Amino acid sequence: MQSLDRRFFLRSGAIGLAAAAVPFAPLFAAGKIKTGASSALIVVDVQNCFVPGGTLPVGKGDEVVPIVNRLAQSFENVVVTQDWHTPGHASFASAHAGKKPFEMTKLAYGQQVLWPDHCVQGTDDAALHKDLKLPHAQLILRKGYHKNMDSYSAFEEADHKSSTGLAGYLKQRGIKTVFVTGLATDFCVAWTAMDARKLGFDTYVIEDATRAIDLNGSLAAAWKQMSAKGVKRIQSADILG
């Protein structure tokens, strides 16, 4: 009896304290941008290959992990992507005699940046970052698995014809708005966001939940192209408050 009373007292005390604290607690203020059943968080390529220590490291790429983890708690729909290349993939400089990483070449579908070998299927390098905490993620989508074609975008491969199926998946699940995060801002995040727009989704990039490669001004160019296509640039605080 005594312990029940005591519990009741503690509980009502806690409620009273929370209520009293509300007007002085901006930490609990609601974010400005709402997420709901028709929104999805897309977490692009947060893999070992793209963080320091990986084969194609994006500067400070690992810093997105805690931000993505926090954001994910505001989403009921979460989709994760993995860059997932064959050994000897056409986007690797090593597959082209005389070419070095970060040079350009022409492939069947157009110009291609040549990269160091990265994110090879089944390797530890291609695994998702170990500190990502996305237990409720519903789909892990792999891309870039055709040996002769790259796929920065999670929606469409580099020929702009071959679909990954992601738009169909999202539309069949009633998703209308996507929030794109991850690596790298100026390649896979930007291409994913621009294709999302093109395919009819209301599209946001959460800037502080991305990091860039920034190759010859590619980051500024990517933001310019994204904004011209109607992709909205926001910060995690716009959602988290």
Active site amino acids: 45, 143, 188
Between CA 90 and CA 18 the distance in angstroms is 58
Strands 104-107 and 202-211, how do they pair? unpaired
Contacted entry of Zn ion, ligand VGL, none for residue 92, CB cut-off 5 to 8 Å set by kind: none
* Selected range binding ligand VGL among 64-72, 171-179, 184-192, 219-227, rule: CB under 6 A: 184-192
3-state secondary structure of 197: helix
Residue 189 Cβ vs ligand VGL, minimum distance, rounded to whole Å: 7
Interface mask toward ligand VGL for 96-135; x: CB under 6 A: -------------------x--------------------
**212 part of the interface to ligand VGL, by CB under 6 A:** no
Residue 12, number of CB atoms within 10 A of its CB: 10
* Selected range binding ligand VGL among 23-31, 124-132, 166-174, 183-191, rule: CB under 6 A: 183-191
Residue 228, number of CB atoms within 10 A of its CB: 9
Closest CA to 62 of 73, 49, 72, 74: 49
Report whether 63 contacts 86 (CB < 8 A): no
Of the candidate residues 184, 209, 219, 226, the single one contacting ligand VGL (CB under 6 A): 184
Of the candidate residues 84, 187, 204, 223, the single one contacting ligand VGL (CB under 6 A): 187
Of the candidate residues 33, 35, 45, 126, the single one contacting ligand VGL (CB under 6 A): 45
Report whether 191 contacts 183 (CB < 8 A): no
Q: Give the nearer residue to ligand VGL in terms of CB position, either 45 or 62.
A: 45
Residue 56 Cβ vs ligand VGL, minimum distance, rounded to whole Å: 6
* Selected range binding ligand VGL among 2-10, 12-20, 179-187, 231-239, rule: CB under 6 A: 179-187
DSSP state of 1: -
Report whether 194 contacts 231 (CB < 8 A): yes
Contacted entry of ligand VGL, Zn ion, none for residue 195, CB cut-off 5 to 8 Å set by kind: none
Phi (first) and psi of residue 181, to 5 degrees: -135, 170
Between CA 77 and CA 36 the distance in angstroms is 8
Residue 71 Cβ vs Zn ion, minimum distance, rounded to whole Å: 24
Q: Give the nearer residue to ligand VGL in terms of CB position, either 92 or 204.
A: 92
Closest CA to 181 of 193, 163, 194, 164: 193
Phi (first) and psi of residue 33, to 5 degrees: -105, 125
Residue ranges in contact with ligand VGL by CB under 6 A = 45, 50, 83, 115, 152, 183-184, 187-188
